[in-house]
Amino acid sequence: MREYDLVIRNATVIDGTRAPRYDADIFVSGGRIAAIGRLEGAQADAEVDASGRIAAPGFIDAHTHDDRLMLSSPEMAPKVSQGVTTVVAGNCGCSLAPAPNGMRAPVTPPLDLLDDEGGWFRFPTFREYVEELVAHPPATNCALLVGHTMLRVQTMDSLGRPAKKAEIARMKSLADEALASGAIGISTGLYYEPAHAAPTDEVVQVCRPLAARNGLYVTHMRDEGANVLVSLEETFRIGREVGVPVVISHHKVAGAPNHGRSRETLPLIEARMKSQKIGLDCYPYCASSTILSAGRAAGATKTLVTWSKPHPEVAGMDLEQIKREMKLGIDQLLPAGAIYFSMDEQDVQRILSFEHTMIGSDGLPHDAAPHPRLWSTFPRVLGHYARGLGLFPLETAVYKMTGLTARTFGLADRGVLAPGMAADITLFDAGEIDEGASFEKPIAPAKGIDTVIVNGTIVWRDGKSTGARPGQVLRRS
């Protein structure tokens, strides 16, 4: 028997801490990094030559909607193809579980972004969902959140009002079951219709179990436009009252009148960080994507339709073109999804380069013509923003998708290349890494990703999945 399972030879190591790169071999044994350096005469069962390549910790996608993708497409191609080895799922108030009452079509938007038919919402408890992921693991690891909107849908007969006392108690116990079964936190989507009527105090009450379960609070805030500062304060207050860390999802300032206001939001976040734990993530585009609505389209300079249930043929088309050429209005397309161009590039760059900002894709894996962030978030940060624009050094870009993310979410043995850590490793070419997907061609793998390793097993190589599925459900410590 050889000493090690796998050795990665001649790599340039960027370790995920922002430390400068260095050259070394990486030895892997039992799914963990056993040693990094030049070990004379050390032998391994398998060898990967990484000459001319960067070896980085596998990227952690801080914000995903991969709850169902992990079950329906467990090879996780949109993620592993760009070097992602761990996904944080259950965001924006939307999780696949728990569904004690099941889910009938039409599924309440935005929960329909996970499954518009309802059949995948088949786990009565969060524990059963976790057990399914353990029994049939995907290629990537995951960290799971339970969604407040899902709890509301399962608990309340009408969503346009605050929850009553008994409903809050029910949601609280469902949340506690999820946290006891492996969820690392609770997410809200207070921006969306089914949760918009929830007052701050409802959220605080439902989130109470987080404190004893070492969980965190993650939010698609009530307002990312005119009232973004009020929403930030609401988020901080929830974190303080419950006594847990908060993560602001896909931080942005949307709508032309708000362009430039990241100059207000980032200093506020930084000031509050002195007295409480706050994280934030961002995707590297100035267009957002969610369900289609007239109000959202009105605030955008351009709208692309990503899917339409009654008119699947319009996926990928510009809304104006659909109106003009096909004489179809928004009401006739619903339920549907869309991409909205509503942000300012300077804000996106300011938020991306803010010291504490993690990278999260917010990719929507079941859209017919998805926002390109699904397939290209990570290579776009490494290629376009770090190498192309020089927004930050490559070491910083890697940190924002590895070490910072693992620390923010409490994933103790991930995000850094060091002996003893889990062997999640991405090999890429720093000169070639680049986005493959675009708004015109939304489904395409990244360029420059060489080899992707999850828990010591190669899941992506030579531009394709190996079929291996070594993913684990990660806990918070």
| Encoded tokens for 252 | 């942005």
Q: At its nearest, how many Å lie between Zn ion and the CB of residue 407?
A: 22
The whole-angstrom separation of Cα 124 and Cα 131 is 12
> Least distance from C-beta 63 to Cu ion, angstroms?
6
When binding is defined by CB under 5 A, the residue of 25, 344, 362, 395 that contacts Cu ion is: 362
Do 272 and 278 contact (CB within 8 A), yes or no?
yes
Whether the bond into 442 is cis, omega within 30 of 0: no
Binds Zn ion (CB under 5 A): choice among 92, 143, 216, 421: 92
Residue 26's beta-bridge partner residues?
Answer: 8, 36
- CB closer to Zn ion, 364 vs 433: 364
In this structure, is the dihedral angle defined by the CA atoms of residues 225, 298, 250 and 191, taken in order, positive or negative? positive
Q: Is the Cβ of residue 254 or residue 458 nearer to Zn ion in the bound state? A: 254
Q: Which is nearer to Cu ion, 91 or 95 (CB)?
A: 91
Tell me whether residue 219 or residue 308 sits nearer to Cu ion (CB atom): 219
* Cβ contact 277:243 at 8 Å: no
CB of 9 to Zn ion, least distance (A): 41
| Alpha-carbon 448 to chain mean position | 21
Closest CB to Cu ion: residue number: 92
Question: Considering only CA atoms, which of 204, 210, 198 is closest in space to residue 149?
Answer: 198
State the Cα–Cα distance between residues 189 and 179, nearest whole angstrom.
18
157 Cβ partners below 8 Å, 6+ apart?
Answer: none
Other C-beta atoms closer than 10 Å to the C-beta of 277 total: 14
Does residue 148 touch Zn ion according to CB under 5 A? no
Q: 110 vs 448, which CB is nearer to Zn ion?
A: 110
Interface with Zn ion by CB under 5 A: which range of 4-12, 92-100, 448-456, 461-469? 92-100
Min dist CB 93 to Cu ion, Å, is: 9
Piece of 47-55, 88-96, 397-405, 437-445 that binds Cu ion (CB under 5 A)? 88-96
- Beta carbon nearer to Zn ion, 88 or 92: 92
**Considering beta carbons, is residue 33 or 92 the nearer one to Zn ion?**
92
Query: How far is residue 225's CA from residue 252's CA, in Å, rounded to a whole number?
Result: 8
Using CB distances below 5 to 8 A depending on partner kind, what does residue 401 bind out of Zn ion, Cu ion, none? none
Q: From the CB of 129, what's the least distance to Cu ion, in Å?
A: 18
Q: Which of 215, 222, 271 is nearest to 244 (CA)?
A: 215
Q: What does 142 interact with, of Cu ion, Zn ion, none (CB < 5 to 8 A by kind)? A: none
User: Is 92 an interacting residue with respect to Cu ion (CB under 5 A)?
Assistant: yes
Choose between 247 and 452: whose C-beta lies nearer to Zn ion: 247
Q: Which residue is associated with the tokens 């043995």?
A: 413
Q: Which of 215, 248, 70, 214 is nearest to 142 (CA)?
A: 70
Residue 296 found at the interface with Zn ion (CB under 5 A): no
248 forms part of the interface with Zn ion (CB under 5 A): no
How far is residue 133 from each of residues 69, 137, 214, 474, measured CA to CA in Å?
11, 5, 22, 11
Q: Is 344 in the site for Cu ion (CB under 5 A)?
A: no
Q: Which two tokens stand for residue 243?
A: 């006594």
What residue has token string 């409480």? 276
Going by the DSSP 8-state scheme, the letter that residue 372 receives in this structure is: T
Does position 220 interact with Zn ion (CB under 5 A)? The reply is: yes
Count of residues that interact with Zn ion, criterion CB under 5 A: 2
Residue 91 as a binder of Cu ion (CB under 5 A): the answer is yes
Question: Under the rule (CB under 5 A), what is the footprint of Cu ion?
Answer: 91-92, 362
Question: Under the rule (CB under 5 A), what is the footprint of Zn ion?
Answer: 92, 220
